[in-house]
Amino acid sequence: MKKVGILLFCLLGSIQVFGVDYFLHTDYGTSAKTIGIGNVEGFNESSAVIFENPAGLHSVDHISFSGFHTTYIAGSVDFYSLALAYKTKVGTFGFGLFEHSVPNIKRTTEDNNGEYGYSDSFSNRNGVYKFSYGKQLSKNTFGGTNLSYYYNEVDTTSGTGFNIDTGLYFDFHTLGVSLVAKNLIPKFEVSYSNGKAESLPLQLAIGLNKHYQDIDLYVQAKLQDPDDPYQFSFGSKYQPEYLNNIFYVSMGWQQFLVVGNSYDKVTLGVGLELLGLTFHVAYEDSSFYESDQQYYSSISVKL
Amino acid sequence: MKKGVLLMCMIVSISSQLIGEIGLDDISSSSTVKSSEISNADMELESVTSILGANLESILSSEGLEVLLDGDDGGDSDEEPQLVGDALVYPNPSSFSVDNPKIGYRLNQNMTIEIRLYTVQGYQVGRKIYESGEEEGALAGYNKVDVLELLNGQYLPAGTYIYILIFENKVIAKEFMAVKP
């Protein structure tokens, strides 16, 4: 643990601040289950954990598939993710895709009077592929790595970039510890066809999960920019054993940053597991002017 | 004397035709008509005005009507305050480091307008209130406001954002804005 602490301290010192950071849409949740516990990352037992901490792949027994969907802006923008993980004798391999697209954006023109009109439309497609590998390192320690491929297409301007995530997971029976560093290599940026680039921000997060009887408690501290404060998250989950663990309810609170602005939100979640198929739904108040509610849904399958 | 009667008849005939064309019969209860809303009739209005000269205004006045020219305040209008047409950002897509994107829209009269800018997840990243009649953005006619004003000069990462115009707690326009690096 001491070595890990030193490693994290060194990584923190290496954070560099560039002009404009790439917008990491995965920060706002890639699974309804995780959103329901305040987006405390690394404790999802399905393949969706690829987006959170690749070391969490240790919980995949054989094959795991998961899907996630939500719409924002009163149904105008669809976000979805798919993830697949397969356990082998040499470790667990995984693949994940998280994407959203915005069609029918008006391309505008200016007339001789200086007034604006529009001629046609274009689209924006943004996403990330994650290729993952996780392995047990010792009795209680698991490690994992992602190769992330980012893409962002705005009309005819397209950008792509690679980076690496790495994580550790410590399993102390009723206590789980998740450590993850995302976008480890500072000089790997998203480079665009117009010659510009955006840096992929390094993120560090440490999370704890304490299990006691039917209750799980979660806490997380996350850091992106050394000039910004830590972002904390808390979560809880109640999964009664007398119902054979087929049902849970959860609640969370999350601090997060949006283009340098600090937000926080309360989330609620519920899940139902039947025959290896688990349905998750999460809810939060919408911060968009025209919407009151924001729902997320996920499904995960264990084979 | 007969020439005078003939001239009056011509004036009444032309003015009646004009009133019919611009639909004033339908809104005779309204005491104000803006010339910007009758752009199709502008050319005819100008030619008729040249014929009738000052008599037109006196005739319209006698009908209880008033003609406002573009750029007039319009603050005492009985019309409902509203956005005329779309509220569009130009250029779209735009790059903050190259362009100076502006949101352009036409108001039929002075109105207090609030503009908010959101990410596609619905998180607010920019906001400004334009007070009625006091500044560009809240004036009768065509307004252009800098997007960077909403953001306090901060550039946004590449992607799609959404802006809304709010008047009296109602969203009167909603559009996407795409940002290139």
DSSP class per residue in A45-84: -SGGGGGT-GGGGGG--SEEEEEEEEEETTTTEEEEEEEE
Strand B67-68 and strand B33-34: the pairing is parallel
Q: What does the pLDDT look like over A147-176, one tens digit per residue? A: 999 999 999 999 999 999 999 999 998 999
Cβ A272 vs Cβ A240: under 8 Å: no
Residues from chain B contacting residue A122 (CB–CB below 8 Å): 93, 178
Q: Which of A142, A144, A146 is nearest to A96 (CA)?
A: A146
Distance CA A43, CA A34 (A): 8
**Phi, psi of A53, deg, nearest 5:** -155, 110
10-residue stretch averages of pLDDT, chain A, 303 residues long: 50 52 93 97 96 96 96 89 97 97 96 95 97 96 98 97 97 96 94 95 96 96 85 97 92 93 94 93 89 92 90
How many Å apart are CA A7 and CA A12, to the nearest integer?
Answer: 9
Residues of chain B neighbouring A25 (CB-CB closer than 8 A):
120-121
Nearest to A293 by CA among A79, A80, A70: A70
Name which of B89, B122, B174 is nearest A287 (Cβ-Cβ).
B122
> Mutation test of the interface with chain A: which of B86, B100, B102, B120, choosing the one with the most A Cβ atoms within 10 A?
B120
Q: Do B176 and A118 touch (CB under 8 A)?
A: no
Which two tokens mark B10? 């011509």
Contacts of A201 in chain B (CB under 8 A): none
Rounded Cα distance, A220 and B110, in Å: 49
Position A26 scores a pLDDT of 93
CB–CB contact B158 A117 (8 Å):
no
Helix or strand run (H / E) with residue A206: strand A203-212
pLDDT value for A20:
82
Rounded to whole angstroms, how far apart are CA atoms B163 and B171?
Answer: 10
**Chain A nearest CA to B69, separation (Å):** 17
- For A123, A136, A218, B124, B171, the CA distances from A291, given in Å and listed in that order, are 23, 44, 29, 13, 12
Tokens 């064309």 found at: B21
Q: What is the pLDDT of residues B96-118, one digit of tens each?
A: 999 999 999 999 999 999 999 99
| ipTM metric | 0.90
